[in-house]
A and B are shown apart, each in its own frame.
Chain A
Amino acid sequence: MDSLPALYLLPLLPLLGFAVLMVLPRLFPGKTGGWLATGMVGAAFIVAVIRYLNQGAPAHETLWAWLPNMALNANLSVGFWLDQLSALMALIITGVGFLIHLYSISYMGHDPKFTRFFAFLNFFVAMMLILVLADSYPLMFVGWEGVGMASYLLIGFWFNGRNSEAGDAQVRAASDAEAISNSNAARKAFIMNRIGDLGFMLGMFLLFKLYGTLSIPELAERVEGAQVAQAGIELACLFLLVGAVGKSGQLPLTTWLPDAMAGPTPVSALIHAATMVTAGVYLVARSHFLYDLAPNASTWVAWVGGLTALYGALSALNQSDIKKILAYSTVSQLGYMFLAVGLHAYSAGVFHLLTHAFFKALLFLAAGAVIHALHEEQDVRKMGGLHRFMPFTHLVSVAGVLAIAGIPIWSGFFSKDAILAAAYEQSLPLYLIGLGVALLTAFYMGRWYFLVWRGAYRGHGHPHEADTLTKIPLGVLAALATLAGFLNIPTFLGGKHAFDDYIGRAIPLHAHEIPVATEWLLTVFAVLAGVIGLGWAFLAHRRGALATGPLGELSRNSLYLDALYDNVVSAPSRAIAGALDTVDRGTDDALNGVARNASGPGGLFTLWQSGFVRAYAVSMLLGTAAIIGYWALKTIGSGA
């Protein structure tokens, strides 16, 4: 297989793009920079495809020694690992990434920092590829924090507001406010990720303590043989879960993800929907050999997923920002994936990851097109009836909505169905949650659809259809969102589980044995949930009662989680910082005080130095007398 392009090319190509665009932006006038970046990702995609097409046994390519003593009795090397799982992820990242780059060329066309935007996007893609291709946890961590950094940069891309130089005071003020909220969102994302990362790191430390290596292949072998305390593995898996939760915006570290919508829409599509946020799922799937040994930890994963799915769905009900709705839906869909991998239905989880990548990216890009068409208007209550103005975008959005709502033949249906089946098989409560969420999902997506596309146009300004360059990715994604489901037709529908078999070569499958009848039933329920949800939305739309969804403020403020954190964590820690600072200056002063007191005797001595010669004589002769007395006493003592 020497003829094959080396794996390191995958991250290297976009990284080169990043470096060039960062260091020599002047070389790329106009949109050339964007085309370069897109080309780099495209090249990476081609590499990924080539590697995928002639893929045999997992490929392991190591480069140079990197971290001390972190492999078995050796230094850990930088190395890449390509098996079915990582190959699939690589395809998603480069493929979807390529499309979104393409989209951005048009979308960011007018932005003054056009070139830098693409540099960052390339950087993200590179880091994401490192994440999925890493052959060791530390290297995965590099990508892990790298994508966090990229997301920080891109969320804060408009760190000074979009028109900070505006002359008009009002516009300027608005822009300044936007600047602050953008910056805060970026910082919040990074810090919350850091919390997760600490968990990830502790997990690695513990794994090293248990198995003496952090290289994933080595671990996978040793896990079979080595005898270690069950509690140890459970704990390690929980630590890893914390990391995954942080990255994937699951409960309790979920609040940064909705805020992250402050970034440009392509960013939301690529990073905060399709790829980065799914890293947590990938981490769990990648560590399947650990989670298989840790039933309790897996249950935790499942429940975290279930609850987050519910939380996201509930919060999405009454949002009015076109992107916020999609964001919460992302949270909720990620919950599904966690639910699946937590139940060891890795294939189902990854499959949903795949389909979700398609339809959610699609929806975001469509939303982006809308926002553009309405000149940065994001409030769904000021939209409506857009299907007349932008038919193509409308069409693809329909595909996206149907897909996410789980309507048959659209991809979402298959992946969600697999997850629900797995849930039903193992825990009824989780199944019910999943079903309920399916219904809610259908509803809020329906709400989204009707508010944006149907009814009368409530805004002002003249919407215009997106340009061709935007249409291409939308079209491709719509096609994928529609058809991807057929990759994995379940047996009872006469399918061959092509996808399961493929993934199964990397992750041993737990073939679930549910009677066909039950499967039909489950499917019917799932479909019903979707249909009812959409119907409910439609009726509400008819009543014109969609503008404010159910649950009112509770949902709008996403269950007040933010407020809770501010009061319970942020404020106290700030207060503590202040206190410590005072204390520190205090200890400082205290030490000075000690010093001053130390020189206090000095004052005494200067008093003693009274200037009177007889006083001096007194101290002299008394000193003498004292010494003699001491001697006398001693001699007497020794004498007697």
Chain B
Amino acid sequence: MVPTTSYLALSGILFALGMIGVLTRRTAIMVFLSVELMLNAANLALVAFARSWGDPTGQTAVFIVMTLAAAEVAIGLAIIVAIFRKRETTNVDDLAALKG
């Protein structure tokens, strides 16, 4: 059977990809999706650990995290849409009025 470490490796890669996405993507949507990716990396890690410890807590935790992620999507999209309505853009680089 597959060892826990490889699951962790995968989740690590996913997390890294998410981070890179956050750093590189310009549109709010994509940034946000990369964040989701990071969350799923976390989920994967949780599941893997749960399996290695052989106790269900971790897996239940995953469900909760998923729920939170969903809630986040709802709020996030709402905000993004609201902004898009006003400015016809979701390019985060256009939002730099507040600085210094």
Contacts from A to B (Cβ < 8 Å): 606, 609-614, 617-618, 621, 624-625
Contacts and interface: CB of A to CB of B under 8 A. Distances in A.
Given A613-B95, A614-B93, A606 B100 contact: yes
A624 B19 CA distance: 10
What size tier do the contact residues of chain B reach?
A: 10 to 19
B19 A612 contact: no
Given A606-B100, A611-B97, 6 more contacts: A611-B100, A613-B95, A614-B26, A621-B22, A621-B23, A624-B19
A623 to B, nearest CB: 12
Contacts of A611: 95-100
Nearest to A620: B22
- Among A609, A610, A613, the most chain B Cβ lie within 10 Å of the Cβ of A613
A617 B96 contact: no
A614 B100 contact: no
Interface string B16-38: 00010011001000010000000
Nearest to A625: B19
Contacts of A625: 19
Contact of A609 (B22, B31, B95, B99): B99
Contacts of B19: 621, 624-625
A624 B92 CA distance: 22
B23 A618 contact: yes
Interface of B: 19, 22-23, 26, 31, 92-93, 95-100
Contacts of A618: 23
Contacts of A610: 96, 99
Contacts of A609: 99-100
Given A618-B23, A621-B22, A612 B100 contact: no
B98 A617 contact: no
A614 B95 CA distance: 10
A218 B8 CA distance: 95
A169 to B, nearest CB: 67
B92 A613 contact: yes
- Among A617, A618, A624, the most chain B Cβ lie within 10 Å of the Cβ of A617
A109 to B, nearest CB: 81
A613 to B, nearest CB: 5
A285 B36 CA distance: 104
Main secondary structure, interface of A, reads helix
A439 B92 CA distance: 108
Contacts of A612: 92-93, 96, 99
A614 B23 contact: yes
Contacts of A617: 22-23, 31
Contacts of B99: 609-612
A154 B82 CA distance: 92
Contacts of B93: 612, 614
14 contacts: A610-B96, A611-B95, A611-B96, A611-B98, A611-B100, A612-B96, A613-B92, A613-B95, A617-B22, A617-B23, A618-B23, A621-B19, A621-B23, A625-B19
A606 B99 CA distance: 8
Contacts of A613: 92, 95
A50 to B, nearest CB: 91
Nearest to A622: B23
Nearest to B25: A614
A618 B21 CA distance: 11
Nearest to B93: A612
Nearest to B16: A625
Nearest to A621: B19
B99 to A, nearest CB: 3
B30 to A, nearest CB: 11
A606 B96 CA distance: 13
A376 to B, nearest CB: 78
Closest A-B pairs by Cβ, 10 of them? A611-B99, A611-B96, A606-B100, A613-B92, A621-B19, A612-B96, A617-B22, A609-B99, A610-B99, A609-B100
Contacts of B26: 614
A231 B99 CA distance: 76
B9 to A, nearest CB: 14
A606 B98 CA distance: 11
B19 to A, nearest CB: 5
Contacts of B23: 614, 617-618, 621
A241 B96 CA distance: 82
A28 to B, nearest CB: 77
A617 B97 CA distance: 17
Contacts of B96: 610-612
B56 to A, nearest CB: 28
A604 to B, nearest CB: 12
B25 to A, nearest CB: 8
Contacts of A606: 100
B70 to A, nearest CB: 22
A617 B26 CA distance: 12
A291 B20 CA distance: 95
Contacts of B100: 606, 609, 611
A614 B21 CA distance: 11
Contacts of A621: 19, 22-23
B89 to A, nearest CB: 14
B97 A614 contact: no
Contacts of B97: 611
Contacts of A624: 19
A614 B92 contact: yes
A296 B23 CA distance: 91
Nearest to B20: A621
A14 to B, nearest CB: 76
A621 B93 CA distance: 18
Nearest to B97: A611
A460 B13 CA distance: 119
A614 B24 CA distance: 8
A600 to B, nearest CB: 15
A617 B22 CA distance: 7
